[in-house]
Structure 1
Amino acid sequence: MNLRGMSDQEIEFNHLFREEGGIYRGKIVEQTQFHSMLFLADKLIEGFKTSERARDLDIYVDVIDNFSINACVGKKGERYYIGINVGVLVLLSNMLFRMFSSNSILTEVGDASKERVTRKIHDAQIRDIQTLLDDFNEDLTPQDETRLAAASFFFKSIIEFIVLHEYAHIIDGHIDYCIDTIRVCKLFEIQPTYAVGFDNPVFQQTIELQADDFAIFGCLHLLHDTQLGKFPVNPLLKPYFKDWKSTLQFWYLPIYTYFRFFGHLNQPHSLKKSSHPIPAVRSYLVLESLDHFLDNDFHLPDHEEVSLSCIESIFKIEDTFDQMSEQGKDLKALVIY
């Protein structure tokens, strides 16, 4: 890696995450997508600088040159770092385009008749980029403009959730606690085998759920600002932002996709050993948080219909995974309801 011309932040980021692959400066991700993702992350964090506990925090976000699905928060000196693996960007884009270029998936969005039959892949969380390029070298660009816009919205929504989730690990003190207790300066979403983590998986799942709660809160406020007209909505997607019910139902499609993307297993035994809560638990938290925030922050008394619409989104994404992956559905995610 040629560090010439890099800022001090970039050099420190590269050094902190060198074991994971260092800073990404390759070409497999389109530059427009790469820079727009970093710009989005910076704007999200800047938006919270007005709060007292975040005002003086020095936080830098960048991409790690690693093709696995993972994200990480770290600290060096007084500066905090959020790293998102380039694999998340590549595999997420591939999965979302695969969804919306299919003529049988989420057919209520746009005109699915313009799309084609896409091949099933064995694992929606495929981790071998070369296999993806060699065996599934397909043009997955959705042909319908509305479906293409929806894929972009899904990508943006998931990146927002990831960044806010990692940001919560900083402002809620998780990474500092990690440093103070186990002397480790990095906290991963998916714990690598070589990395030291907390001995108690339930404790780590708890802080992950706390980070989810903050991300849900942040995303809801972004959606609220969108409804108020502070953020523009692609005109093609306006029918999905008519009211809270339609907005949240559409938003939860990518969020549940993200839960399945980072971990599709819902077996109860995973609760005893996993460093991350299973999708069923994360989904339950979303519904509980929606009820709380809609009641206390937005003063909307009737949430049952909204919650049911989000559960409907879960079924739609499970159907999606069934059609595009040989893994099929994992309806254990719905048992908790």
Structure 2
Amino acid sequence: METTKELFNEYLDGNSFNGELDEFEKYMMGVVKDSYEVMLQESPESYPEVYLGIVNDYTFNAIAFKYKNNYFIGLNIGLIRIVKNFYNYLFSRNDVFKEIDTSEEQNPDIDINLSELDNYIDTIGDLFNNYDFESVYPKSKERKNNAKHFAANAVSYLFFHEYGHIVHGHLDYSIKTNKNFVFFESNSKNEGNLISQCLEMDADSFAATKTISLIKDPEFWSGSALTTGFSSVFMFQLLSTKIDNLNELSNYSHPIPAIRQMIYLNMVYAFFYQFSEKSAEEIAFKVVDVVLKEHKIVFMDVLGLEKESLAIVNSVNEKVNQHFKIIMNTWNEIRDDLSKYAYGPIAEKKIWK
């Protein structure tokens, strides 16, 4: 009988990653696997097990698929290394995350400017493949540790997003309805992708709830929400492609970062509200204040992303808000059918006007 590792490699036509991970990358993957094990112990017995593997692909992508009645999640080696490089780059700068001592840092001699993003296929994350980061890392121990911590949480968030596609029945639903046996995290453009966007938003909700809920001590709630906030909101932006027409929001496989960001903030509030309305408000407002301000500094001030592409800008755009409501109303249309394939409870219907 074939092992799940062998099945993973077989499905990928032998393209699983068999190289060596460095210390930073091993730490990231260790955090992902540990978080998954903790979540499984605390989740309903009905939650399925998955095999987590690394794909020998250097693009910024991840996949969830079903093969021979087994579930798999694959993280591209490119995604792992780009996330590592991204956070090493940020924490090696003295103008980002200034609350953490920057006295030992000097800005790297790498001129990254995302305003040059002029195609609609590559994600922002993919552009980090164009630079040599071998000697780019923070000098201070505290900032090195923070780079590893943030990077590991970012990859964990994406893993739980992929796992959400499985647990909430997206994968089996898609197999039954349109023979889609795999979910990719890279954005694609085709007409009529509202159902796809619904499923992506639902997977984001699952990931946000699971990553935050791993922290049990109320003393660390705020810090956990902030870490997850940086990890998720930054990841949404890295996974985005250039969108120049807000009238075509329905034609992308994934919601734009602004909408994914809105979902994350809603889930933060909803999670902490069950314990205390005051705590929910305080933590949600802190996340908005701290994470979104740093988001602007990183992507616009440092990396030169055009203002119109910034998630925090689009989140207050009326067309974006209207599209958010359209997605949520589409959820109402598919929710009952989707629930037949879910391994646990999923979001109820809600009227959005």
- Aligned partners of 2:150 and 2:211: how far apart in 1? 13
Go from structure 1 to structure 2 and tell me whether the alpha carbon gap of 1:182 and 1:277 turns closer, same or farther (over 3 Å shift): same
Contact 1:164 1:214 in 2 (8 A): yes
Report SS of the residue matched to 1:301: helix
Tell whether 2:141 aligns with 1:145: yes
1:333 is matched with 312
> Which sits farther off after the overlay, 77-86 or 244-253?
244-253
TM-score of the pair, normalised by structure 2: 0.77
| Alignment of structure 1 residues 159-198 onto 2, 5 Å | 159-190=155-186
Tell whether 2:231 aligns with 1:254: yes
Deviation at 1:283, TM superposition (A): 1.0
2:16 is matched with 23
- Aligned partners of 1:328 and 1:144: how far apart in 2? 31
Tell whether 2:192 aligns with 1:205: no
Tell whether 2:124 aligns with 1:125: yes
Contact 2:88 2:137 in 1 (8 A): yes
1:66 is matched with 57
| Alignment of structure 1 residues 67-146 onto 2, 5 Å | 67-109=58-100, 111-118=101-108, 119-123=110-114, 125=124, 127=126, 131-133=130-132, 139-146=135-142
Go from structure 1 to structure 2 and tell me whether the alpha carbon gap of 1:35 and 1:79 turns closer, same or farther (over 3 Å shift): farther
Q: Which of residues 239, 249, 263 in structure 1 aligns to 2:240? A: 263
Deviation at 1:302, TM superposition (A): 4.5
RMSD (CA atoms): 2.6
Equivalent residues, number: 302
- Aligned partners of 1:210 and 1:146: how far apart in 2? 35
Tell whether 2:38 aligns with 1:47: yes
**AA of the residue aligned to 2:147:** A
- Aligned partners of 1:89 and 1:325: how far apart in 2? 20
Deviation at 1:293, TM superposition (A): 1.1
Tell whether 2:146 aligns with 1:155: no
Go from structure 1 to structure 2 and tell me whether the alpha carbon gap of 1:265 and 1:303 turns closer, same or farther (over 3 Å shift): farther
> Which digits, 9 at most, give the CA deviation of each residue in 1:281-327, with x for residues without a partner?
0111112112211112x334343332222222112122112344233
Tell whether 2:299 aligns with 1:321: yes
> Which sits farther off after the overlay, 158-167 or 124-133?
124-133
Gaps of 5+ in 2: 115-122, 317-353
Deviation at 1:188, TM superposition (A): 0.9
Report SS of the residue matched to 2:131: helix
- Aligned partners of 1:270 and 1:189: how far apart in 2? 19
Contact 1:201 1:274 in 2 (8 A): yes
- Aligned partners of 2:19 and 2:138: how far apart in 1? 25
TM-score of the pair, normalised by structure 1: 0.80
**AA of the residue aligned to 1:207:** L
Contact 1:158 1:258 in 2 (8 A): yes
> Which digits, 9 at most, give the CA deviation of each residue in 1:107-154, with x for residues without a partner?
112x11210122331348353676323xxx552110111111111111
Q: Which of residues 216, 224, 232 in structure 1 aligns to 2:208? A: 216
1:280 is matched with 258
Report SS of the residue matched to 2:75: strand
Contact 1:264 1:279 in 2 (8 A): no
Contact 1:59 1:81 in 2 (8 A): yes
Report SS of the residue matched to 2:46: coil
Deviation at 1:208, TM superposition (A): 0.6
Contact 1:103 1:117 in 2 (8 A): yes
Contact 2:222 2:283 in 1 (8 A): yes
1:307 is matched with 284
1:231 is matched with none
Deviation at 1:218, TM superposition (A): 0.5
Go from structure 1 to structure 2 and tell me whether the alpha carbon gap of 1:216 and 1:72 turns closer, same or farther (over 3 Å shift): same
Contact 1:75 1:175 in 2 (8 A): yes
- Aligned partners of 1:305 and 1:209: how far apart in 2? 24
Contact 1:98 1:324 in 2 (8 A): no
- Aligned partners of 2:257 and 2:78: how far apart in 1? 20
